[in-house]
Structure 1
Amino acid sequence: MSAPEPETLEDTDPEGAEIVPFTDEPWVPRIMNPEVGLPAAAVAAGVGALAFWLRAPDGPILAAAAGLLCAVLVILAVIDMMTRRLPDAIVLPAYPLLGLAAAAAALAGEVTWAQAGIAAACMAGCYAVYWLICFFTGGMGWGDVKLAGVLGLALGLAGPWDAVYGVLVLPMILGGVIGFPMLFRGGGKVEMPFGPFMVAAAVPVLMMPDGMVPWLMDLFR
């Protein structure tokens, strides 16, 4: 999950070890470190290129949007793992950019306006579900909530079930499968970033919506 902004001069993990000194953007020093940034950029570029290639039959606008978003999601996962943050500076601009991409895709005939409307509804629905979880349980951070809306919009362009599985179902399953054993190692309490699970679930669905969703529907039937 994404932690709230630190109120002290440095952020710490639950064991008291320093994560990163407090700055206006505390994730920047970590991702700009060549030891982290270069491998992360290479993986992000590879994932983005693969997503673009796989989505190319859907049209250049959708392919470019999927490729760019997948690359950004990889970077977000790395940032969240290292700093427990999903920075607004990266997440929030994705809303208008994806909205413009959806409108452009509709104008180009790559999707219908009805599909764009469904995507907007998926954005609102995914955001609302994560907001409720965050507000009533505190089990997620507000960064996760904001990212859920972005993923709902992106996946919803392919259909509502893409958003349901990619944003609501798979991340919870992945988080549970990995988090449950950690409860026994952490004495019954464990804190872990949720963003990487969201990314791990959403990226395959973004890459292969026509293949992943039918397979998932058969799997959970």
Structure 2
Amino acid sequence: MPSLYVLLIGLAGLAVGSFLNVAVSRVPAGRSVVRPRSACPRCEAPIAARDNVPVVSWLLLGRRCRACREPIPARYPLLEALTGLLFAAEALRLGPSAALPAALVFTAGLLALAACDAEHLLLPRRLVHPTFALTALCLLGAAAATGQWQRLAVTAGCAAGGYAAFFALHWARPAWLGFGDVRLAGLIGAGLGWYGPWHLVFAVFAGSAVGLLAGLALMAAGRASRATRLPFGLFLAVGALAALLVGGPVVDWYARVLDPYATSAPHPRIAHGGAGSYPGTHDRT
């Protein structure tokens, strides 16, 4: 994979991360992500273009507003850097393929939702629904470009299955699982279904394991109790991103464990159908 291609996708991710910061700051409060222009929340001084360069401006400003010296939260450069790194990693992992735009849109939406859940214990519909729609639209384009309509059908089934499974859990124990998590499960099914249903299973189990370990660590440190609400959407997003990047090899390994006599073909790039193969062939607004 040409390094320039990966670098350009990574730089685009930095810019997208800057926009995600705006969405995380405004959407939970019901504000527009378009207007007004970005400004310091304390002194309301507009952010100049020179102070709006992802990561770099935060460092050059000494982590403070140029006008009033109000500290700028570390979430801003961290989200920008993480978006850039994940975009580059996906470009390297998946290649210049028809389904890469869907993976990037899916990743951006997950990062914004994870940040909202971590800060506000919210998974806003105003982020879930556009991410779902754009991801589905990109995958529709990928199916049209590659002729792999069966993958699109599996994607729709995974989205419906993820939503239905989490809806059942919410109905049985609403105190355990918010409806925002139900919507997120449908989104994760849509984002991962292109690669096969086992990627969705991997994401749910990985996210649940991360959440369990985080909860145990917080309780051991005396920072949480069994009654403490944790951002489960954040952990599901971590599991989904892990499935997107390493799910294929893990699923194939597991398939070989179940059937050691089976042979496994190399993972095709998305340009030829997708990275990975099917094994065996809170209300938080």
Q: TM-score band, normalised by the shorter chain?
A: 0.7 to 0.9
Equivalent in the alignment of 1:90: 127
Q: Does 1:161 align with 2:161?
A: no
Equivalent in the alignment of 1:24: 30
Q: Name the TM-score, length of structure 1 as normaliser.
A: 0.76
Q: Which amino acid aligns with 2:137?
A: L
Q: How many residues align?
A: 195
Q: Does 1:120 align with 2:126?
A: no
CA RMSD of aligned residues (A): 3.0
Contact 2:109/2:131 (8 A) holds in 1: no
Equivalent in the alignment of 2:230: 192
Equivalent in the alignment of 1:48: 87
Equivalent in the alignment of 1:38: 77
Contact 1:127/1:145 (8 A) holds in 2: yes
Contact 1:144/1:194 (8 A) holds in 2: yes
Cα displacement (A) at 1:89: 1.4
Cα displacement (A) at 1:177: 2.6
Contact 1:79/1:86 (8 A) holds in 2: yes
Cα displacement (A) at 1:175: 1.9
Rg comparison, structure with higher value: 2
Q: Secondary structure at the match of 2:228?
A: coil
Instruction: Go from structure 1 to structure 2 and tell me whether the alpha carbon gap of 1:188 and 1:83 turns closer, same or farther (over 3 Å shift).
Output: closer
Cα displacement (A) at 1:113: 0.8
Question: Structure 2: 5+ residue runs without aligned partners?
Answer: 1-27, 42-70, 260-285
Q: Which amino acid aligns with 2:106?
A: L
Instruction: Go from structure 1 to structure 2 and tell me whether the alpha carbon gap of 1:217 and 1:84 turns closer, same or farther (over 3 Å shift).
Output: farther
Equivalent in the alignment of 1:173: 209
Equivalent in the alignment of 1:211: 249
Q: Which amino acid aligns with 1:177?
A: L
Q: Secondary structure at the match of 1:92?
A: helix
Deviates more, 1:211-220 or 1:100-109: 211-220
Give the whole-Å Cα distance in 1 for the aligned partners of 2:72 and 2:207.
29
Equivalent in the alignment of 2:102: 65
Which structure has more relative contact order (CA 8 Å, sep 6+)? It is 1
The structure that is helix-richer by fraction is: 1
Contact 2:123/2:233 (8 A) holds in 1: yes
Give the whole-Å Cα distance in 1 for the aligned partners of 2:247 and 2:86.
15
Contact 1:44/1:72 (8 A) holds in 2: no
Give the whole-Å Cα distance in 1 for the aligned partners of 2:182 and 2:254.
24
Question: Structure 1: 5+ residue runs without aligned partners?
Answer: 1-21
Cα displacement (A) at 1:219: 7.5
Give the whole-Å Cα distance in 2 for the aligned partners of 1:204 and 1:220.
22
Q: Name the TM-score, length of structure 2 as normaliser.
A: 0.60
